[in-house]
Amino acid sequence: MSYQHIRRQAEELVEAAAIKKLPVDVERVAKHLGLNVVHAELGKDTSGLLVVQGPEDVRICINKEDPPTRRRFSTAHEIGHWVLKHHTKPGVHVDRGHVVLARDQRSSQGVDKTEVEANQFASALLMPERMLKEAVATSANPLRDVDITDLAKVFQVSEQAMTIRLTRLGLLEV
């Protein structure tokens, strides 16, 4: 599946959940999909869990100790795993930082394909292209550091996530 297709799926989900204003309400998106979001103590190395006990019993567990922007990204990331059907059977799918705890060597190196796809999905879900382009249109051209900071606050994402998304959309010159 192409990253473009993955990002399109995320943006279509924002529309299907009738999200019209910023920041994107990721818990509302999860609810739209029938997923319950639970905030719990998961330990310092675990940002999120996708708990699949059956097609009607799916929970996203988010580390309540993480900063708000990280919690939002983790929720969007776990939604991505669900939408992209990365879960193949019931169980607990654990993310520590950006790396899924799987048995293969590639996962521990942060190059696991499903993790990259879930990150692409999360980025597009939290910062839909149309909404981001509209917000950028009201900023200085070229974008300054302060503009990136302001955009990150509006979308309630980290400055790093905003910088990556702006760069990938060709809205920020590096």
One digit per residue, the tens of pLDDT, for the chain of length 174 reads 788 999 999 999 999 999 999 999 999 999 999 999 999 998 888 899 888 887 778 899 999 999 999 999 999 999 999 999 887 665 665 655 433 333 233 333 456 888 899 999 999 999 999 999 999 998 878 889 999 999 999 999 999 999 999 999 999 876
pTM for this prediction? 0.86
The CA distances from residue 103 to 5, 89, 99, 123, in Å, are: 27, 16, 12, 26
CATH code 1.10.10.2910 for 3-126: yes
Q: Using an 8 Å Cβ cutoff, are 101 and 89 in contact?
A: no
